[in-house]
Amino acid sequence: MNILDRILDLKRQEVDQIQDTEFGDLVGQIRSLKEALASPGISIIAEIKMKSPSEGEILPNADPVQIAKEYESAGAAAISVLTDQSFFGGSLDILKSVRDAVSIPVIRKDFI
């Protein structure tokens, strides 16, 4: 079984488990990604990924909130946060913490 098959199997199980979950606590102030990317010049969507299926831990003991603040200070237009726990070391808690720490749009990135 290759990595994508393993991810797909796990995601099917996760979807079954969270179908009735409320995600209201993740909803905050709406920040327009379209507007953020429409600014003149190059727009960067910076990514927070704690680990990778092929590389393992990328930044052991890194603070995703501090990384997000540094991305924002460096001029990122938005931040993408991987929320898959098993393969990428992310979580909804990381997403929420990053969203609360920056003023730019934050995108959830996961397998669906």
Residue 20 has pLDDT above 80, yes or no: no
Beta carbons of 96 and 25 less than 8 angstroms apart: yes
pLDDT in tens, 69-82: 999 999 999 999 99
Predicted confidence at residue 26, as pLDDT, reads: 60
Tokens (6 digits) for 42: 């190059």
Is the whole model's pTM more than 0.75, yes or no? Answer: yes
Instruction: Spell out the domains of the chain, with CATH numbers in brackets.
Output: 3-109 (3.20.20.70)
